């Protein structure tokens, strides 16, 4: 058994570990070298699992099942993060029991937990506003929460001022254009034109066109969504431009086209953006508007510039993608450079093929609203 296997074996003993932690003070645990914040988090979780409760039967059964299934501290902590949002008597333990019995992956369990909390009315929605942080080392933070459209329009305005600034982190590049705008020395907010790709299925487009799409939500490659009514208003205001392009997608082959060139044309880029409205690398949230066109089978290895071989990847993931793939040995190994996996098309959709052989999708909200998901 190597160290990784030892670690995984230890994680399956979370219930036993928490039971012993319930007998200890977080301050004593902190004196053993654990961060006090971590110690308090663990002892709080232990109190929930072994302390007084309004649902003793559910508590006993759930703890026994968690021990039987060998659930990890990380999983139980995730369960508690969502369950504590429910305040009605017995609701929190009912959700804990559901999640402890849930038999899919960690990510699928968390998605289910979020859905259940929303259904039970336990989520506190964000409210628009401006929040100012305290001074730390001579710096302060400002946080603005508003509608996705207003914030994204602001972002597009700032982006026009930093298009060629690739030497600094994006957050630094956006700072001066932001203050130029605030102080009135900039050009003002730009009325955006939707070079951004908007994906909508034929059935929904028909509804929207006939004024019956109030409940239709369409997704955009700038990372936002809009209602059917907003879509029509944008079209009438001229924000969608004077041309309408239609992309054809096959359920298993992906985007359909026959063009071939070294660099992706605007047409091919648009098809790739329509398929993946955000970078398809798992857990990435960079919208397609700010991504690069990526050859799934690398061009240097004979990959063609055709729709089914293209996708959008953010600059970072385009750089770490393993172009040589898991099946091809490099002539010279590159010591110290970890393999991160590579993108590949599986049953029509773009997925990350991990070094361990798994196919993993991005679970971002807009990943399920691209063209291939509308078929």
Q: What is the pLDDT of residue 117?
A: 92
Residue 141, domain member (yes or no): no
Is residue 127 included in any domain, yes or no?
A: no
Same domain, 94 and 197: no
pLDDT of residue 229: 74
Query: Are 203 and 169 within one domain?
Result: no
Q: What pLDDT shows up at residue 188? A: 57
Q: Give yes or no: residues 282 and 239 share one domain.
A: yes
Q: What is the pLDDT of residue 246?
A: 55
Does residue 230 sit within a domain? yes
Q: Please say which residue of 71, 100, 119 terminates a domain.
A: 119
300 and 332, same domain (yes or no): yes
Token pair in block for residue 268: 């091919």
* Confidence at 163, pLDDT banded by 50, 70, 90: low
Question: Is residue 349's pLDDT more than 60?
Answer: yes
| Domain-embedded: residue 140 | no
Q: Is residue 188 part of a domain?
A: no
> Which 3 state secondary structure label does DSSP give 73?
helix
How much of the chain, in percent, has pLDDT values that exceed 70?
Answer: 81
Count: domains in the chain: 3
Q: 45 pLDDT exceeds 60? A: yes
281 and 168 in a common domain: no
How far apart CA 156 and CA 158 sit, in angstroms, is 5
In this structure, are 176 and 288 located in the same domain?
A: no
Alpha helices (runs of H) in the chain, residue ranges in sequence order: 3-11, 14-21, 26-31, 36-50, 56-69, 73-83, 91-101, 106-119, 148-160, 170-182, 202-209, 228-236, 266-275, 315-320
Q: What is the pLDDT of residues 90-140, one digit of tens each?
A: 999 999 999 999 998 898 999 999 999 988 888 777 889 999 999 899 989
DSSP string, 179-205: HHHHTT-S---------S-EE--HHHH
Task: State whether 358 and 324 are in the same domain.
Answer: yes
**Both 77 and 222 in a single domain?**
no
- Examine residue 129 and state whether it is found in any structural domain, yes or no: no
Domain C-terminal end among 100, 119, 138: 119
Q: Using the predicted structure, report yes or no on whether residue 165 has a pLDDT greater than 70.
A: no
- Would 238 be classed as within a structural domain? yes
Residue 327 inside a domain? The answer is yes
**What pLDDT, on the 0 to 100 scale, is given for residue 347?**
85
Whether residue 164 has pLDDT greater than 80: no
Q: Which domain holds residue 9?
A: 3-119
Asked if 243 and 262 sit in the same domain, the reply is yes
* Poorest-pLDDT segment among 20-34, 38-52, 262-276: 262-276
Count CB neighbours of 47 within 10 A.
14
- 351-to-83, 282, 283, 346 alpha-carbon distances in Å: 31, 8, 12, 7
Predicted confidence at residue 263, as pLDDT, reads 47
Same domain, 48 and 178: no
Q: What is residue 206's predicted lDDT score, i.e. its pLDDT?
A: 66
The pLDDT, as a whole number, for residue 261 is 41
Identify the residue with better confidence: 89 or 224. 89
For residue 122, the SS3 value is coil
Distance CA 220, CA 277 (A): 6
**pLDDT level of residue 262 (50, 70, 90 thresholds):** very low
Q: What is the pLDDT of residue 181?
A: 83
Residues 73 and 14 in one domain: yes
pLDDT at residue 78, as a whole number: 94
13 and 63 inside one domain = yes
């Amino acid at each position: 058994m190597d160290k990784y296997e030892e670690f995984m074996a230890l994680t399956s003993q979370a219930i036993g570990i928490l039971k012993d932690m319930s007998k200890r003070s977080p301050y004593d645990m902190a004196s053993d070298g654990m961060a006090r914040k971590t110690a308090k988090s663990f002892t709080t979780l232990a109190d929930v699992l072994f302390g007084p409760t309004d649902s003793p039967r559910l508590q006993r059964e759930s703890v026994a099942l968690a021990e039987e299934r060998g659930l990890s501290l990380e999983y139980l902590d995730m369960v508690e993060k969502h369950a504590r949002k429910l305040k009605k008597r017995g609701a929190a333990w009912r959700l804990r029991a559901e999640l402890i019995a849930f038999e899919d992956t960690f990510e699928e369990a968390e998605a289910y937990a979020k859905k259940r909390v929303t259904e039970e009315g336990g989520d506190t929605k964000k409210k628009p506003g401006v929040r100012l942080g305290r001074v730390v080392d001579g710096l302060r933070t400002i946080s603005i929460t508003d509608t996705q459209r207003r914030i994204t329009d602001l972002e597009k305005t700032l982006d026009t001022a930093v298009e060629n600034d690739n030497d600094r982190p994006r957050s630094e590049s956006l700072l001066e254009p932001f203050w130029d705008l605030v102080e009135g020395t900039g050009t003002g907010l730009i009325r955006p034109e939707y070079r951004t790709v908007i994906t909508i299925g034929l059935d929904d487009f028909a509804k929207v066109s006939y004024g019956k799409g109030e409940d239709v939500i369409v997704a955009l490659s700038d990372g936002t969504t809009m209602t059917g009514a907003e879509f029509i208003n944008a079209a009438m205001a001229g924000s969608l431009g004077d041309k309408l392009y239609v992309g054809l997608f096959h359920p298993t082959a992906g985007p359909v086209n026959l063009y071939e060139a070294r660099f992706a044309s605007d047409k091919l880029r648009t098809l790739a953006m329509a398929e993946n409205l955000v970078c398809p690398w798992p857990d990435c949230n960079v919208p397609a508007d700010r991504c690069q066109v990526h050859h799934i089978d690398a061009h240097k290895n004979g990959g063609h510039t055709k729709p089914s071989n293209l996708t959008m990847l953010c600059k970072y993931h385009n750089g770490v993608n393993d172009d040589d793939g898991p099946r091809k040995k490099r002539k010279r190994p590159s010591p110290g450079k970890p393999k991160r996996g590579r993108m590949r098309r599986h049953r029509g959709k773009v997925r990350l093929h991990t070094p361990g052989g798994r196919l993993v999708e991005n679970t971002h909200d807009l990943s399920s609203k691209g063209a291939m998901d509308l078929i």
